[in-house]
Structures are given as C-alpha cells and as structure tokens.
C-alpha cells in the first residue's frame, strides 16, 4: 500500500488532489491536512511514501515544511504544488530535494500520469480491485464506505475548465447548464457551507451564492474532482436514460414550487435547490453502476431498477453525510418524500406540499398541510 499525505489548505484543491491520488492507485492510504504543523506531526508519527505540498500554506510555507521533512527523510517522494513558476522558486524547491514541481492551474490527467511515473521506482502498486461477489455486494460496500460521487457530463467539465477563456455569451450559456446540474449544485453547497468558507452564520442555499463563496478557481477544481470518480461519465444507455428521467423529474418539481410561489411566501430559490437535489441518492447509484460496468461486469436494466429501489434512500443519506450538507438543506430535500412529525418550518412544509402535488397524495396529507397556510385544494388547482 502507498501512503500519501496531501498538505493543502484550499478545500477544492485538496479534494481534487485526493480524488486524483485514489484514481491513480487502487491500493492507497491518503490523508489530507490543511495545517502544516498538524501535517508535520502526522508525518512524524506515521510517515508517508508520497507527500504533495502546497507552497502557500498558512503559518509555515510548503518549502519550510519540505525542509523539516528532508532533515530526516530522504526517501519520501515530495511534490510541490504551487502557483509560482519563476526560476528562483523552482531552484529553491530543488535545493530542498523536491522530486517534482507542479504549477497551478494544472491538468488533472497529466498530474496523475506524472505521479504514477515518479512513484514507479519506489512502489509497484497493485492494479487489482477487491473482488465482488455481486453488484449488491459492490453497492453495499461503496455506500457503507461513503465512496460516492455523482454523474457529470465530461463535456461540461471540459467547458468549465476553460471558462475563463470564453466569450461572454458562451460563458453565460455554460453557467446556465451548471445551475441545473445536480452534481455541481450538491458539491458547491456542501463546500460553501463548510467551516473553511462560511464567513458568518448565514446558510448558503443557492448556486449563485455558493459560487461567490468558492470562486471560479475553486469551482473548476470542484468540477474536476467530480469527474474523477469512477463511473462519473455515464455511457450505458439505460443509465443515461434514468439520469435524464431524474433531471426531468427535478425540473417538473421546480415547476410545482414556482406555482406555489403565486400563493405563498417562502424562500423559493432555496426550495428550487432542494428540488434539484432530492434524487441524488439515485444519481449516485447510477455512477456506481457505471463504475461496475466499466470494471468489466455485466448489468441489465432490471438489475439497475432493483439496485435503485433497494438502495436509493440509504445512498442519498450517505452522500449528504459524506459531503456534510447542512441539516436545514437536508431537511428541505427530505421533506419532498417525508415530513417528520412536528415539523413547523415553512420551507420543509412547502417542499412536502410540492412533493405531494407532484407525485400524488394517497394518504390525504395535503388538506392538513395546506390548512396551515389557509389554502384550499381548489385554490392551488389540486
């Protein structure tokens, strides 16, 4: 097993580097540290075979951390990742026996190939995967371990990577696509509400607000991270069809929420975000099933339907926990399917009403919920 330590204080870049390392080797242990002193302590305790260092770390530069490591460890492979590319910086890093020097912004595939090459002389990582008895075993293991991603169009990722070079009209069109993409919205909201980016106590619940928090560079790295999950590019026709069904269903639910806005006062933008995210459990399973197929296994449409029906709720919960989506956002997403007893918050109730109007009301919940707002079924057109 290869032991990798990443020292990077920017969350999108750190997450991208972690995903790149995991895609490069199957047998790898990787830890991400944001604080260089904590990283130094971890290295002294556990050690590492490969260390990826950001130059501009807080309180101690990556170069200073490299100097500390090299005082007693000449064997670990150390890679400096930085925005600096001038000759003096390169020479300073080389003087401290850096093994490679990667300049931001970087191409993920090129970096992965470089890491693989420089580690070849040190380790011979195993290319074999853990054998799975069945698709059910595979799904259970992935969901339990939290190794979940979401499908994303590789062409969209490529467009995002060059968004700074685009003309205004093209950029606007791409951003419209991004705003309707469940994977990008989910990851943006989880990151924008993390402790690293939260500047105050206000919850970030929309794409635009999250993008302002993260910034364009962080957004590009985030898209690259999503694209590096195995199976993120759906190629199987019935998986692509199911993905489109989920997206159309989300847009249909947004239409219901928009109509409710004509009769009720509520945070419509936040509820629209919840509409786009309420089927992320199924989307994450599509990504896993594509990964299963990509690994050489056979999967049919009937088995796909069975996997979705048995695992969607659990996968959705795990995905939200994995990326630490804030509880208020989770409540709004979950309310589409079920409103917990005693919940009196306005937006979750609105989301439950929208869900019932959208999918049907077999247990006659709507009259009671609408009565809270003084509404009748005829007024909503129900």
Written in H, E and C, the secondary structure of 150-202 is: CCCCHHHHHHHHCHHHCCHHHHHHHHHHHHCCHHHHHHHHHHHCCCCCCCCCC
pLDDT in tens, the chain (382 residues): 899 999 999 888 899 999 999 988 888 999 999 999 999 999 999 899 999 999 888 888 888 898 888 888 888 888 888 776 555 666 666 677 777 777 777 778 778 887 887 887 555 444 444 444 799 999 998 898 767 899 999 999 999 989 999 999 999 999 999 999 999 999 999 989 987 776 656 899 999 999 999 999 889 988 988 988 889 999 999 999 999 999 999 999 999 999 999 989 999 999 999 999 999 999 999 999 999 999 899 999 999 999 999 999 999 999 998 888 999 999 999 999 999 888 889 999 999 999 999 999 999 999 999 888 887 655 565 4
d(CA 93, CA 79): 9
Burial 56-73 (b: 16+ CB within 10 A, else e): ebeebbbbbbbebbeeee
Q: What is the pLDDT of residue 315?
A: 96
108 exposure class (CB count in 10 Å sphere: 0-12, 13-18, 19+): buried
Strand pairing partners for 101?
A: 80
Are 313 and 307 a contacting pair, CB within 8 Å? Answer: no
CATH topology classification for 2-120 = Rossmann fold (3.40.50)
Are 125 and 264 a contacting pair, CB within 8 Å? Answer: no
Q: What is the pLDDT of residue 130?
A: 43
* Element holding 102 (H helix, E strand): strand 100-103
Give the C-alpha distances (Å, rounded to integers) separating 250 from 94, 97, 255, 381: 52, 52, 9, 20
Q: What is the pLDDT of residue 146?
A: 66
103 Cβ neighbours under 8 A, 6+ residues apart: 82, 83, 84, 85
16 Cβ neighbours under 8 A, 6+ residues apart: 108, 221, 222, 224, 225, 228
Are 271 and 205 a contacting pair, CB within 8 Å? Answer: no
d(CA 108, CA 164): 17
Phi, psi of 40 (to 5 degrees): -65, -40
Q: What global pTM score does this model have?
A: 0.78
Q: What is the pLDDT of residue 124?
A: 47
d(CA 230, CA 228): 6
Query: How far from each other are the two terminal CA atoms of the chain, in whole angstroms?
Result: 59
Strand 28-33 relative to strand 100-103, pairing:
unpaired
Greatest C-alpha distance within the chain? 77
Rg (CA), the chain: 23
332 Cβ neighbours under 8 A, 6+ residues apart: 270, 271, 273, 274, 347, 348, 351
The neighbour count for residue 332, using CB atoms within 10 Å, is 24
Are 237 and 286 a contacting pair, CB within 8 Å? Answer: no
CATH 3.40.50.2300 positions along the chain are: 2-120
d(CA 44, CA 40): 6
Q: Would you call 28 helix, strand, or coil by DSSP? A: strand
Instruction: Tell me the helices (H) and strands (E) count for the chain, helix number first.
Output: 19, 5
């Amino acid at each position: 097993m290869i032991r990798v330590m990443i020292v990077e204080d920017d969350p999108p870049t750190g997450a991208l580097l972690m995903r790149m390392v995991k895609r490069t080797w199957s047998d790898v242990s990787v830890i991400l540290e944001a604080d260089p002193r904590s990283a130094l302590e971890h290295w002294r305790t556990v050690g590492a075979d490969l260390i990826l260092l950001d130059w501009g770390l807080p309180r101690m530069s990556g170069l200073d951390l490299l100097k500390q490591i090299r005082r007693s460890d000449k064997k670990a492979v150390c890679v400096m990742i930085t925005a600096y590319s001038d000759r003096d910086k390169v020479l300073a890093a080389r003087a401290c026996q850096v093994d490679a020097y990667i300049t931001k912004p970087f191409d993920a595939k090129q970096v992965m190939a470089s890491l693989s090459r420089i580690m070849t002389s040190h380790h011979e990582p195993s290319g074999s995967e853990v054998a799975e008895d069945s698709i059910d075993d595979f799904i259970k293991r992935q969901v339990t371990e939290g190794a979940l991603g979401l499908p994303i169009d590789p062409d969209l990722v490529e467009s995002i990577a060059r968004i700074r070079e685009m003309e205004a009209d093209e950029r606007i069109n791409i951003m419209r696509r991004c705003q309707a993409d469940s994977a990008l919205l989910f990851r943006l909201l989880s990151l924008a509400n993390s402790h690293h980016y939260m500047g105050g106590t206000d919850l970030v619940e929309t794409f635009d607000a999250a993008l302002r928090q993260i910034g364009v560079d962080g957004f590009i790295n985030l898209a690259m991270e999503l694209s590096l999950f195995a199976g993120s590019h759906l190629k199987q026709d019935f998986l692509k069809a199911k993905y489109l069904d989920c997206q159309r269903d989300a847009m249909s639910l947004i239409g219901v929420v928009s109509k409710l806005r004509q009769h009720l006062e509520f945070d419509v933008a936040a509820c629209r975000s919840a509409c786009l995210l309420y089927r992320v459990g199924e989307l994450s399973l599509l990504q896993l099933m594509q990964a299963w197929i990509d690994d050489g296994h056979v999967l049919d449409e009937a088995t796909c339907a069975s996997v979705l029906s048995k695992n969607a709720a659990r996968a959705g919960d795990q995905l939200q926990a994995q990326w630490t989506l804030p509880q208020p956002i989770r409540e709004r997403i979950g309310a589409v399917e079920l409103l917990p007893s005693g919940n009196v918050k306005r937006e979750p109730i609105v989301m439950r009403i929208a869900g019932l109007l959208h999918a049907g009301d077999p247990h006659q919940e709507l009259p009671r919920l609408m009565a809270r707002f003084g509404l009748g079924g005829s007024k909503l057109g129900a």
